[in-house]
Structure 1
Amino acid sequence: MFITMKNATKWRHFTSYVSVALMVISIGMIAVKGLNWGLDFTGGIVTEVQMNAAISSHEIDSTMDKALKQDVSVIAAGEPGRWVLRYAIPTQGEAPNIAHILQPLDGQLQVLNTSIVGPQVGQELADQGGLALLVSVLCILGYLSYRFEWRLASGSVFALAHDVIFILGFFAATQMEFNLTVLAAVLAIMGYSLNDSIIIADRIREVLIAKPNLSIQQVNNEAIAATFSRTMITSGTTLITVGALWLLGGGPLEGFSIAMFIGIMTGTWSSISVGTSLPELFGLNSSHYMPKPITEEP
């Protein structure tokens, strides 16, 4: 058992070093390359068309990409043959003739409406998205400060930051479009990662109180062993669902699915490694959760 515990501690520390290295690389990617902001934030043109229901989104996408020399988002509008096309404003500042571009696919094409989303609207969405992220982080910090002693809470906070930064670093490195759906995935991952970290931290607190003579390394390993099956089952079933969404959801949900998939994996990893190693570094022990004696001195 001792060898198993010792090896588990070494693996936790090793994966924590890997997590820190990935965070540094991700921050570098964000600083050097930046995020490829989507039309939700930069503004663009939205066109709704009605076409032959036999024409697929892939045909529309390839035709639009070839004509406009840019990535075009093709979204089904709910009715057969009805599509919403989203693309950036061309450099000349004029909306392209969509009917002319898509005429080779369907001569009976109907352009139902076209609207331009200006950069002012995009900036407002960016501000609101950033505000939502900030409020979420503040609420999480407030909850953790109430629920756990600061040494134990620090692991959950660092694990949370690790997951968010890694997702942003991945999108910066790949230059995939960062839009509102990806931002929604980041907010969802914050909640998922926090839940995973709290499960383990709560178990650590219970073991610290029940077995005060154990070292913090043994306490952490015992807490991980007690929650490991639950963590794997939860993460595994969620990954299956997100994987199906990734494969079958199409282009509009690709960014969301990828962000969720990466976030679930890193959230599980960081909750086990970073979330337990940092309290060790700060010297967490059972005395921090023992009741304080009450003196009668004034």
Structure 2
Amino acid sequence: MNIFGNTNYDITGKRKIAMLFSSILIITAIVAIFIRGFNFGLDFTGGTVIVVHFDEAVELEDVRTQLSDANYGDAVVKNFGSSRDIEITLPPIEEFTETATESPDSPQTGTDEAKLSNVILDILQEYDASARISKADFVGSQVGDELVEKGSLALLYAIFGILIYVTIRFEWRFSLGAIAALVHDVIIVSGVFAIWQVEFDLTVLAALLAVIGYSLNDTIVVFDRIRENFLSGRKADTETIINTSINQTLARTVVTSLTTMLVLFALYFFGGDLINSFAFALIVGVMVGTYSSIFVASTATMALGVSREDLIPVAKEGGNLDHIP
């Protein structure tokens, strides 16, 4: 049952308004990316993340003050799942100068990162003796730079592969329309992260790749219906056929997006800090992807001049006489 009934919205008729709206969003996103930049997480910048557990709830401001007094004022302190667990992020260190006094029985190892985590623990135990480290991770700055490079290449490879796939399955105008929608989605989602300075880590990069796949799936459904309507022999003009096709798939597009959003909101509110950025990226991506599959992909394809003739193989003149000697 189609809960939307037999819709007949003039979607293609609003394409100029949609293109203006998309242009404003893209320009805003690009300006934000260049001016504000991304709040890269540890995966990309390198550094040390230490998760400390306390027996009782602690005040983050007290912990920040304790670390600042010990010359670690650049540490980022936030709760990690509960008020009794905190996550401390420290920038990369080139040379580590130990600020705590070591005893002969100290468990510290010879590496700077291990020493750093133990020094931080010593500082926090002066504030609360129940403090203990539950996790400590270190990523070198060189590894972070490599991840940025490989992550960018992954996005480019995905878009290039989609370009080839859609060209083979449909027609080159459809492929460019699909790519326009995907680039539109990635830029806007990235811009949202730049504007609100949400932490950008590897999970967000994975979310961007997932957004590309989700948006493409919606776009392919619409393109399939456009092709069917083109080949069905209807004599309507291109704009009418594309508008009809979008309306015929509108219920499926919207219902799929709404059910996906229910899961993503559950992940965002109840999944914890570890997947918070991932869920946020997907929430924004699904909303933008749904919009682009309705207004951007098909509109871009129509602007490139696609027509029924482009999808019908050209009949070879006299081809039905080839069997005659």
TM normalised by structure 1 equals 0.85
1-structure distance, mates of 2:205, 2:59: 26
2:285 equivalent to 1:263: yes
Task: String of CA shifts for 1:177-222, please: whole Å, max 9, x gaps.
Answer: 2111111110110100110111101111111111441111111111
Q: Is the 8 A contact 1:98 1:111 kept in 2?
A: no
2:35 equivalent to 1:32: yes
Which stretch of the first structure deviates more once superposed, 126-135 or 279-288? 126-135
Instruction: Name 1:288's counterpart in structure 2.
Output: 310
2-structure distance, mates of 1:256, 1:204: 33
Instruction: Name 2:154's counterpart in structure 1.
Output: 132
2-structure distance, mates of 1:64, 1:237: 41
| Deviation of 1:290 (Å) | 1.5
Instruction: Name 1:209's counterpart in structure 2.
Output: 231
Instruction: Name 2:222's counterpart in structure 1.
Output: 200
1-structure distance, mates of 2:176, 2:262: 30
1-structure distance, mates of 2:197, 2:186: 16
Kindly tell me: are residues 70 and 82 of structure 1, through their superposed partners in 2, closer, same or farther at Cα, counting changes over 3 Å? closer
Find the structure with the greater CA-based Rg: 2
Task: String of CA shifts for 1:25-47, please: whole Å, max 9, x gaps.
Answer: 21122122222221111111133
Runs of 5+ consecutive residues of structure 1 not aligned to the other structure: none
Percent identity (aligned): 36
Alpha-carbon RMSD across the aligned residues, in angstroms, is: 2.9
Instruction: Name 2:49's counterpart in structure 1.
Output: 46
Instruction: Name 1:275's counterpart in structure 2.
Output: 297
Task: String of CA shifts for 1:64-98, please: whole Å, max 9, x gaps.
Answer: 5554454346556xxxx887644324799554732
TM normalised by structure 2 equals 0.78
Partner of 2:50, secondary structure, is: strand
2:257 equivalent to 1:235: yes
2-structure distance, mates of 1:107, 1:244: 36
2-structure distance, mates of 1:105, 1:226: 64
Q: Is the 8 A contact 2:42 2:201 kept in 1?
A: yes
Partner of 1:231, secondary structure, is: helix
Instruction: Name 2:176's counterpart in structure 1.
Output: 154
